[in-house]
Amino acid sequence: MANLKEIKRKISSVKGTQKTTRAMKLVSSAKLKRTEEVAKRSKVYAAKLTELLNEIARKMQQNNENGIDNVFFKENQNPKKVDVVYVTADKGLCGGFNFQTIKRTNKVLSEFKEAGTEVRLSGIGKKGIAYYKYNKIEMINEIDDLSSAPNYERAKEFISELVEDYISGKTDKIVLIHNGYVNMITQEINQQQLLPVDTSALELDAVSLSEMDIEPDDDDTLLDALVKKYVEYTMYYALLNSLAAEHSARMQAMDAATNNAKEMVGKLTVKYNKARQEAITTELIEIISGMESMK
């Protein structure tokens, strides 16, 4: 009977876990809907901002035979110092979501170090910060409560420090890595060069259809302000996109855990029934044997 009690206790425990994972799945599903809506609206703004940057950069290229002469567009083929920024979640229980980001970040760090480039690491999210601290990898900047509650002003403050170092020449490049939302069941790692602006992503050779006109004296002032806004908003959008991906990953992980718990309850129930039948059979044999011995 002790064995039966133990199995029954396990069944009760697994059912309790199943209720918890089902509840977490529902919570993540609700949060995903809200975050996905915010991310979609932000994506529209980000697209328009990129379109405007594309247009102004194109105008400047047309006005300058030697191309765009601006610090934000000067690509360094042999960077001596690079800033790498990663975004992970503040919480776990979301499958391989955080691991995939850390894995890509480690790959990028290794590639730069193999090329002889000094790397400064900055991180957002408790899980990534905990990993790099445990492995004794130094970070110049870290925030452990921003990925779960994206805020534009805080994102701006975080990335602006790195932008100022880039402008002053302390660093040659800024790279951003985060796990992004594709749909309800898919996430993908995004690696983006924030600075210098990747001109390959801008259609600088396209024919301009806009009536916008830019005075030569305003070129640098306008472009500098726009690029800073572009970088700041890209950082903020990465946080939103990462949060949506996190909720999606957690929803999948909790759904899988719920199904596994259901399967385990089924197996334990079969085991319990078998043990119960064995106990009944043993009792019957003992009764029959006792009656036979009395004859």
Asked if residue 264 lies in contact with residue 14, where contact means CB atoms within 8 angstroms, the answer is: yes
Domains, the chain, ranges and CATH? 2-22+253-294 (1.10.287.80), 37-252 (3.40.1380.10)
- Paired with 187 in beta bridges are 181
The pLDDT-based confidence of 4 (bands split at 50, 70, 90) is: confident
pTM for the model stands at 0.84
Residue-wise pLDDT tens digits, 149-191? 999 999 999 999 999 999 999 999 999 999 999 888 889 999 9
| Tokens encoding 25 | 């799945």
Residue-wise pLDDT tens digits, 8-54? 899 999 999 999 999 999 999 999 989 988 888 888 888 888 888 87
Q: Alpha carbon 110 to chain centroid distance?
A: 20
Number of H helices, E strands in the chain: 5, 5
Task: Collapse the DSSP code of 262 into the 3-class scheme (helix H, G, I; strand E, B; otherwise coil) and give the result.
Answer: helix
- Give residue for tokens 């921003």: 146
